Amino acid sequence: MDYIAEGVLQALSLLLTGDEETWDAIFTTMKLSSLSIAVSLALGIPLGFLLGYAEFPGKRICRAVVDTLLALPTVVVGLLVYAFVSRRGPLGELGLLFTLPGVAIGQVILALPVVVAMTATAVESLDRRLSLTLLTLGAGRSQLALASLLESRYGVLLAAASAYGRIISEVGVSMMIGGNIKWHTRTITTAITLETGKGEFAMGVALGLVLLLVAFLVNGSASLLRRRVRT
């Protein structure tokens, strides 16, 4: 047990003294996850709202596909994206392999079904009397849609928190597409995997503590949002 206690103390020292390599992985993760969640929300909220609000042929099939994609393994997504962005792939000329934008593509694929499915659920769970009341007051289609989206805002925020949690904790896409390149694409999760394998327990613990803190904040926010949704 002594080596665990020593590792924790060394981990705190790395964080508090501003170890460059440790903090670079943290900042890279924050930058990458922010880009991924921004794109996921920009695409997922409109699609989720449309799926939950509108009636169209094939809606049930679309919903079933989205729900199925919630269980996508990260390594499978990484493999598929790698096939497209590698030199021999159709997007190879864009030079996305071993770059943060390339990793972001994979993370968006992981997060998008979460945002779409949970946004659709939030819209579908709205009180149907809201639409009738707004129509009675003379609201148009655009006003009705906007009001419905505003009423489901806590559900949408919950979708964002859940998607962010999935993004920041994944390792398969970051490792396969980013390549875990030091000072370039190394994230918290890939650095933990590498450093622990090398026997650098302290750095792995330091990054693990940061990841746990982020996960705690995300889960705490999600818990609060669930309470607001239920009320």
| Residuewise pLDDT in 10s, the chain (231 residues) | 566 777 778 888 888 888 899 999 999 999 999 999 999 999 999 999 899 888 889 999 999 999 999 988 999 999 999 999 998 889 989 999 999 999 999 999 999 999 999 999 988 887 766 666 666 666 666 777 777 777 888 888 889 999 999 999 899 899 999 999 989 999 999 999 888 888 777 888 889 889 888 888 888 887 777 777 666
Compute the distance between CA of residue 91 and CA of residue 98 in angstroms, rounded to an integer. 13
Residue 125 DSSP symbol: T
- Positive/negative CA dihedral, 127, 133, 135, 139: negative
Q: Which numeric CATH code is attached to 2-230?
A: 1.10.3720.10
- Positive/negative CA dihedral, 8, 9, 15, 19: negative
Question: CB 128: neighbour CB atoms within 10 A?
Answer: 7
Tell me the whole-structure pTM to 2 decimals: 0.89
Compute the distance between CA of residue 90 and CA of residue 84 in angstroms, rounded to an integer. 6
Q: What residue ranges do the domains of the chain occupy? A: 2-230
Token pair listed for 48: 């989720």
- Positive/negative CA dihedral, 174, 175, 181, 187: positive
Cβ proximity of 105 and 35 under 8 Å: no
Cβ proximity of 123 and 129 under 8 Å: no
Helices (H), the chain: 2-16, 20-53, 59-69, 74-85, 100-124, 128-136, 141-151, 153-169, 172-178, 188-198, 201-230
How deeply is 101 buried, as exposed, middle or buried, from its count of CB atoms within 10 A (0-12, 13-18, 19+)?
middle
